[in-house]
Structure 1
Amino acid sequence: MILPSKFLPADRALITVGGEILNIINETPRSVSEVWERVSAARRARNKVLGFDWFTLALTFLYSVNMIELDDGLLRVRRDGDK
C-alpha cells in the first residue's frame, strides 16, 4: 500500500501519490480542496484516476511521517527545524 508491489501499480502507491502532493504544496501552502483539485486534474490528464479516499490516505501518510502540516487551514511542507 505504501510502496508499489506485484499487486499495486506504482501510480497507486501512497509514496507516489504523496510525492505528487508534495510537489504541489512545495510551491506554496494550499488548502486541502485545492490540492485535491490539482492532483485529480493532473491524474485525469494522464488517464490515472485517483479516488478521494486514496488521496486522504496519502495525506495521512505524509502527516504521520512529519512531511506536512496543517497551518491556518493550509497544507504546507514541513522544513528542517520546524516544530
Structure 2
Amino acid sequence: MITPTKGIGPDRALLAVGAQIILQLNRPLTVSQTWARLREWRLENDHLAPLSFGWFVLALDILYALGLIELQDDLLKVRSGNAAPTLR
C-alpha cells in the first residue's frame, strides 16, 4: 500500500502518489485545488490507473506523518527546512 506490491502498481503506491502531490504544491493550494491539479497532471503524464479521492487523502496523511506537508489557513504547503521537528 505505501510501496508497490503485487496488487498495487508503482504509480498507485502511496509514496508515489505523495511525490506526485508534492509536485503540485509549488505554491500553497487548498485540498480541492491540489486534487484537481493532481488529476490533470496524472492524465497529462499517462498515469491512467484509477485514483480515488480516498487514496489521495491517504497519500496526504503519509506526507503529513513524514512531516513533508502542513495545512495552514486551509492551504496545503510543503514544509521548508527539516522534515520533522526534533523533540527535546
* Same structural fold, with TM-score higher than 0.5 when normalized by the shorter chain: yes
Q: TM-score, normalised by structure 1?
A: 0.88
Cα offsets for 1:3-54 (capped at 9, x unmatched): 01222100110000000100111x1111100000011122234223310000
The CA RMSD over aligned residues, in Å, is 1.6
Residue 6, structure 1, aligned to residue 6, structure 2: yes
When normalised by structure 2's length, the TM-score is 0.84
AA aligned to 1:36 is W
How far apart, in 2, do the equivalents of 1:38 and 1:49 lie?
15
CA distance in 2, matches of 1:30, 1:71: 10
Structure 1: segments with no counterpart, 5+ residues: none
CA–CA distance in structure 2, aligned partners of residues 68 and 56 of structure 1 = 13
Matched residue, 2:70? 69
Q: Percent identity?
A: 41
What SS does the aligned partner of 2:70 have? strand
Relative to structure 1, is the Cα distance of residues 49 and 41 closer, same or farther in structure 2, using a 3 angstrom cutoff? farther
More helix by share: 1
Structure 2 unaligned segments of length 5 or more: list them: none
Aligned length: 82
Secondary structure of 1:54's match? helix
> Within 5 Å, which residues of 2 pair with 1:24-63?
24-25=24-25, 27-45=26-44, 46=46, 47-63=48-64
Instruction: Work out whether 1:20 is the aligned partner of 2:31.
Output: no
The alpha carbon displacement at 1:79 in A equals 1.1
